[in-house]
Amino acid sequence: MKTENNARIVTVSEITENIKDVLEDNMRLRNVYVRGEISNFTRRAGRFGSDYLYFTLKDAKTQLSCVMFEGVDELDIEPQNGMSVVCEGMITVYPAYGRYQLKCYSMSEDGKGAAAAALEALKAKLLDEGLFSQKRERPKYPKKIAVITSPTGAAVHDIESVVSRRYPVTELCVIPAYVQGVNAVPSLIAGIERAQNVGADLIIFGRGGGSGEDLDCFNSEALARAVYASKIPTISAVGHEINTTIADLAADMSAPTPSAAAELAVPDISALKNETEALKERSAAAMRRKLSDCEKELSALGKDVLLRSPKARISAWEARLQNIEAALSHKIHQRLQISEQTLLRTVQSISDLNPLAVLSRGYSIAQKDGKAVKSAEELNIGDIIDVKLNKGGVAAKVVKKI
C-alpha cells in the first residue's frame, strides 16, 4: 500500500525487526558488561531443567530489563533484590513487547547496592528513634475508617468489597492520594493529616501490588514520621509479599494486601451474629437454672413458713397427742390383759389351795374343836369329830384308829 506522497507504510513487527537488526548488529552492544542494582527479581523453571532469571538492573537515573537463560547453574552467587552486580551479555530486542533488554551470559557481585544500603541505614536510624515501637490496639468495632490510596486503583475497591461483606455498618472515607511517583510522599502525608479531622477511628493506607520501584514512596522517612505522629491507629496495606517497607514498620499494624488490611480492620458480622445467638442461649439457660433454683428455694421457704405457723404447730401437736393417746391406750390395754391373765392365774392358784376345793374331788375334812385333824394320833377312841363333806357334813365318833 502507498500513501499519496508514495511513502511506504510498515507494520509494527517490521519496525521492531529493523530495530532488532540495528541493535544486534552493533558490535559495541554484542558483548557488554553492565553494572547495576538488581530489582524485580524473578526465578522461573526453564524448559530443560535449568532455571531462567528475569530482573531489572538500575542505577540512579534509569533501568534496564534483563534475562538470563544460559549459565544460571554456574553462578557463584544467589541473585536477590538490592544486590549490586556486573552482568556480561548482549543487547537484544524482545519482539513481543518491542522492548530492548540485556541477555546475560554471566553475573558477578559488585557489592551491596547503594539504594539497599541507604534503606537499611534509614531503618536502623528510625528503629533507634523508636518509630517502629508504637503498636496501638485497633478498635474492635470501627465506626469510620479513613482509606488513603488512589481512588481509581484496585486497592480501594478491594477494601470496599471486604468491608461491605464483613461489617457493612462501618463508614468508609476515601482520601485520594498518589501512591507512586514523585508526588506520592507529600500526597500520602497530606492524606494522613487530613484523616485526623474526618472523625475516623482507624486509618488504612497503601496500594495494590507493584515492583520495588513502585513501592519506593513507602520507604520515605517523612512518611514514616507522619504515620508515627498519627493520633489514630494505622494499618499499612502495601501490596507486596517479599519486602517490608518502612511504612509497614512505622504503622501500628501491617497487612500484605489491601484486602487483608480490611479483614484485619473489621470483624465478621456473621460470626458476631453467631456469637450473639450463642451468648443469648447461654444467658437463657443460665436464667432458667436461676429461676429453677429460686423456685426450689421459695418452695422450701414456703414449707418452712407453713411448719412455723401456729395452725401448723397446733396440727402437729394434735397429731402428736393423738399418737401419744393411741400409744397410751395400747399400753393400758396390754397392761389390763397382763393383769387379767395374772389375776386368773392367782385365782386359779388360790382355788387350787382352797381346802374346800379338795372336798369337790371327793375328799373330806376332819375337825376337832374347830381345828383340822392332820394325824390319827391327835384323836382318841371315843372322840367326837366333825367331818365336812363337799355338800354338808356329819358328826362322827372315833371307834377305831387305822
Q: For residue 166, give the DSSP letter.
A: H
Contact predicate 212/241, CB 8 Å: no
Give Cα separations from 246 to 122, 209, 235, 254, 393 (angstroms): 9, 16, 13, 11, 154
Query: pTM value?
Result: 0.50
Contact predicate 131/250, CB 8 Å: yes
Give, for all 402 residues of the chain, the pLDDT tens digit. Answer: 555 667 788 899 999 998 988 988 888 888 888 999 999 999 988 777 788 999 999 988 899 999 999 888 888 888 999 888 999 999 999 988 889 999 999 898 886 556 666 788 899 999 999 999 999 999 999 999 999 999 988 899 999 999 999 999 999 999 999 998 889 999 999 999 999 999 999 999 998 877 666 788 999 999 999 999 999 999 999 876 566 899 999 999 999 899 999 999 999 988 777 777 778 888 888 888 888 888 888 888 777 766 666 777 787 778 888 888 888 888 888 888 888 888 888 877 777 776 666 666 777 888 888 888 888 888 888 888 888 887 888 888 888 888
CATH code, 136-267: 3.40.50.9100
- Domain spans in the chain, listed from the N-terminal domain onward: 12-115, 136-267, 277-317, 330-354, 364-397
Name beta bridge partners: 101: 92
State whether residue 77 is helix, strand or coil: coil
- 12-115 and 136-267 share one fold: no
User: At the fourth CATH level, which superfamily is domain 12-115?
Assistant: Nucleic acid-binding proteins (2.40.50.140)
